[in-house]
Amino acid sequence: MSGPRQGFRVSALWLVVIVAMLWASPVWSSLSGPIVTDPQTGLAIDGFDPVAYFAGEAATQGKAEYEDQYGGVTWRFRNEGNRAAFSDHPEVYAPQFGGYDPIAIARGVSVPGHPLIWAIVEQRLYFFYDKKARAEFIESPASSIAAAQRHWPRVSRTLP
């Protein structure tokens, strides 16, 4: 498709990218590169407990008394057990692509995912910008992940 509608889609995508870059700042981590953090608090994934997604607790805010530093980022957890589990295996519990939307990454752009729009596939956590991106991912997770993995090295180098 070409013409005015295609131009609108490209412009709209860039607008989303610009707004997303202003909304969240990445912090580079040895874990997997940049991690989406709240620019005002410095908390990874807006203070949500990454282990809670795997424990069937859904998206659950962590508590300040259960904070931990990993990869230069402050993570919060719901309880001591979740903090210990993350400490033992951060590569399992931290969101893939640092919390950036894998569908956007597969398209060559970085858009922070939202901690309330998520999926676990093959014991890995993914965040998405919106429900449409999540639905697209769920239709074909393996190909979405493969495409994001191909683009991630280049996309991650463009982050501020």
Q: What span, in angstroms and rounded, lies between the C-alpha atoms of 56 and 133?
A: 22
Amino acid at 16: V
Section 131-155 average pLDDT: 97
Instruction: State residue 48's pLDDT score.
Output: 97
- C-alpha R_g of the chain: 16
Q: What is the bridge-based pairing of β-strands 124-128 and 114-121?
A: antiparallel
The answer to whether the CB of 156 falls within 8 A of the CB of 111 is no
What would you measure as the largest C-alpha separation in the chain, in angstroms? 55
Mean confidence (pLDDT) of the chain = 84
Domain spans of the chain, in order of start: 4-157
The answer to whether the CB of 108 falls within 8 A of the CB of 117 is no
Kindly indicate the confidence band of residue 30, based on its pLDDT and cuts at 50, 70 and 90.
Answer: very low
Between 18 and 71, the more confident residue is: 71
Name the token pair of 68: 């931990």
Instruction: State residue 72's pLDDT score.
Output: 85
**Helix axes of 141-157 and 131-139: crossing angle, nearest 10 degrees:** 120
Kindly indicate the confidence band of residue 29, based on its pLDDT and cuts at 50, 70 and 90.
Answer: very low
Cα–Cα separations (whole angstroms), residue 28 to 20, 23, 71, 136: 17, 16, 8, 27
Residue 80: is its pLDDT beyond 80? yes
Give percent above pLDDT 90 in the chain: 71
Kindly indicate the confidence band of residue 11, based on its pLDDT and cuts at 50, 70 and 90.
Answer: very low
Kindly indicate the confidence band of residue 71, based on its pLDDT and cuts at 50, 70 and 90.
Answer: confident
Residue 16: is its pLDDT beyond 60? no
Between 107 and 39, the more confident residue is: 107
